[in-house]
Structure formats: C-alpha cells, structure tokens
Amino acid sequence: MTDEASALAAILAALPAPVPESVPVASCASRFSLVDLHASLPLPGFDNSVMDGYALHTDDCLRPGITLTISGEQPAGPDLGLSVSPGHAIRIFTGAPLPRNTAAVIMQEDVSASHDGRSITINDPASPGEFIRRTGADLCKGQLIASKGQLLSSAHAGVLASQGLASITCGRQPSVAIICNGSELAEPGTPLPAPGTLYNSNGPMLAALVAASRTASSIVSSLAGDDAVSLTNTIRSHLDSSDALIIAGGMSVGDHDLVKPTLAALGIPASFWRVRIKPGKPFLFGITPSGIPIFGLPGNPVSAYVTASLFVLPALRRLAGAAQPEAPKFHATAAHHLHNQGDRPHWLRGSFNPTSGKFSAAGLQESHALASLARANALVRLEPNSSLAPGDPLAVLPML
C-alpha cells in the first residue's frame, strides 16, 4: 500500500506539463498564470490629485488666512501643462495630473471661494505633500504582479488591465470525464428499473466537486456496467476526448470489480493501487502513453469524495498550471474528543466554525454515509492510533 504523501507525489510527477493558453484578462480569475507577470508601467502612472480642490505652490502651504488667485483649471484627463506659482492656485479634480511646481493639494472644503470664482481664501492650511498620489506609489515599473503558477483573482484582472494587457498566458484547464461503474446504477430523473438498483450519486457529486474547484474546462459523465465490454468501450470513448478520466467504483477485488484488469488490457497499468488512508483505500492511479491521467476512486460515496479531494483536485490544478496544487488548510482546534483506533490515517468529516475556530466531527463516519457528508463543511486527518482532546490543534481542509 502506498502512503498518502507518496501517492500524491507520484501523481503530480507523472502529469504532463500544463498546456499554455491565451486568456483574456477579463477572464483570468481562477486561472493559473504560466509566466511571471511584471509591471511595465508604474501605478499611478503620473503624480495626481487625491481630492477635488486646489493645487498650491510650496510658498503658500501652511499659511492660513491667505487669499490666492485662481489661475487655471486641471480636470482629470490629458495634462494641460499648467504651472502653479506663489500667490496663485489651480483648480484641480480627483485623479487629475498635477500642475508643475505643485507642493500640495488643499481640499475644496478647507477654503472659501470668492463669489466670482476668481480667488480662494485658505481656512485650514495644507501641508507639503498633502493629498498627492506620487508616480509608482502603488506599483513600480518592473515590480512582480503575479508569479508563474499563481492563482489569479478578479483583482489581478484590474492590475493587468492597468498595464495595457488584453490577454495573458495561463494553463489550459483540462477537460474531465467521469465514469461511474456498476450495473446497479440508474441515472437520477429516471425510474429505478428493479429492486436492488439505486441512483447514481457519485457522478453528480464528483461533477459538482470538480466544477466547484474551477479547474476544468468541461465535465462529462456516463455510466458503465459491470462487464468488460461495456467498461472498455466507455473508457475508450472518453479517452478520445478528455484530458483526465475519473472512474468511480469497481476498484476492489471482487468478481465484478473490473476496472484494474480492464485498464491493464487497454495498455494502461496502474502506477499504484491502494492508499493507506481511511476512507479511500482502494484508490488507483494510472496514466496513458499519451499522458492522460486516470483516477480510480472507490465506489462508496465518502471514499470517492475524500480521494477526489486529496488526489484528483490537486492533479487538475497542476494540469491547469498551479505551482502549489494542494488546497490550503486552516488552523483549528478540536471541539471535543476525536479518536482513530485504526492503523491508517482517518479523514473525518465534520463542521468547522470559522468564528470559534473549532472543528466538530459530524454524523456517521462510515464510507457509505452520504447524508453526514452533506452536513459537513470540512475534513480533518487523524493519525493512526491517535486521539485529540478538546482544544488540541488540528488542520482543517475545507470542503467545496
């Protein structure tokens, strides 16, 4: 059996390099940059006014009660090439370029304007440098905006657009196919065909999980029966059109667990099979000669969810260009006693309260207990043969 860390390392090492794709800046949120992005222009790009008010010469700062002649007006927009001199002020507006020799901008609320608008009297004096945005104060030319492999946000779109960029190079998001294996499965929205059949819950759950991770360009899913012909044909059909394949069910050692031998017959041997975790032990990973990763998930819903969260989502992030593909964990404390008496690490699902910072295990922890999974918002890893007391620290993996 492979330990959890070695399994993830082997998966990430086997993946092909991210495929570069030009992405409009307005669509870059939740994408990973494939290059370091540096500023080519400073922000602000020129000295400008923070406020609507008046540009003052240095000789007229810190002088309450003086009256100054208005000698021009500079709105936001093209620089009119104005200059301020002692005894004069220039009307200026927020974001407008500063006239030459401006030492400070005084707010319009701190002056009294004459009835004819030709002069102002300073009531509350301005200090040198007041209400001025200096060139490059926010971003210097050459400064790093985002690193290669960094997850970009909507705020990055604004900064990149300020540099005049219309598009950037990101990793192409993979297309994902999901196959749920089992002759007992029926698609939701159709009548159950016979006693002993059940609705396919893994397919919609895994599709929703991948969609919530925002790592895939497209997601398709289908069912395959417990026979080699159906499974082989379904796998082949998706390998022709997908960048990653997830197969749920058929991973154990029963007579109807055919995924592992079917993949071997297709020339796709398992890189490893079975991972030392609970739930999720019968997890499989393989990769085709052309570089398409195949993830074999256990059929029990909680096992499928946990292994998808731990192994599939990081792989999809890496394919999309992430430098750090593992999801960040949050620090928390145990709300009550937690126990793992088994010989494998146990991923418990439960409720994390961000206000109190406490985690509580929720409901049944068996691998089939789908309803308790839906009541949870976080996963926590307990080491083998270990216990945590109330208040003990732990790391929480948020559920999507």
- Locate 390 and state its tokens: 């109330």
Q: Is the dihedral of CA 135, 40, 317, 208 positive or negative?
A: positive
- Sign of the CA dihedral with 112 first, then 114, 117, and 121 last: negative
Residue ranges of the domains in the chain? 4-19+173-319, 21-43+149-171, 48-133, 330-398
* Complete DSSP assignment for 8-49: HHHHHHHSPPPPEEEEEGGG-TT-BBSS-EE-SS-BSSS-EE
Q: What is the pLDDT of residues 343-393, one digit of tens each?
A: 999 999 999 999 999 999 988 788 888 899 999 999 999 999 999 999 999
CATH class of 48-133: mainly beta
pLDDT of residue 245: 98
pLDDT tier at 332 (50, 70, 90 boundaries)?
very high
pTM: 0.92
Task: Give 126-137 pLDDT, tens digit per residue.
Answer: 999 999 999 999
pLDDT of the residue at 368: 84
Q: What is the CATH number of domain 21-43+149-171?
A: 3.90.105.10
Tell me the per-residue pLDDT of 5-60, one tens digit each, with 9 for 90 and over.
999 999 999 999 999 999 999 999 999 999 999 999 999 999 999 999 999 999 99
Q: Which fold does the domain 330-398 belong to in CATH?
A: Beta-clip (2.40.340)
164-223, pLDDT tens digit by residue? Answer: 999 999 999 999 999 999 999 999 999 999 999 999 999 999 999 999 999 999 999 999
Which pLDDT tens digit goes with each residue over 274-311?
999 999 999 999 999 999 999 999 999 999 999 999 99
Closest Cα to residue 174, out of 219, 238, 222? 219
Question: Cα(173)–Cα(86) distance, rounded to whole angstroms?
Answer: 60
Residue 255 has pLDDT above 80, yes or no: no
pLDDT of residue 256: 64
User: Is the separation of the CB atoms in 90 and 99 below 8 Å?
Assistant: yes
CATH code linked to domain 4-19+173-319 = 3.40.980.10
Q: Does residue 317 surpass a pLDDT of 80?
A: yes
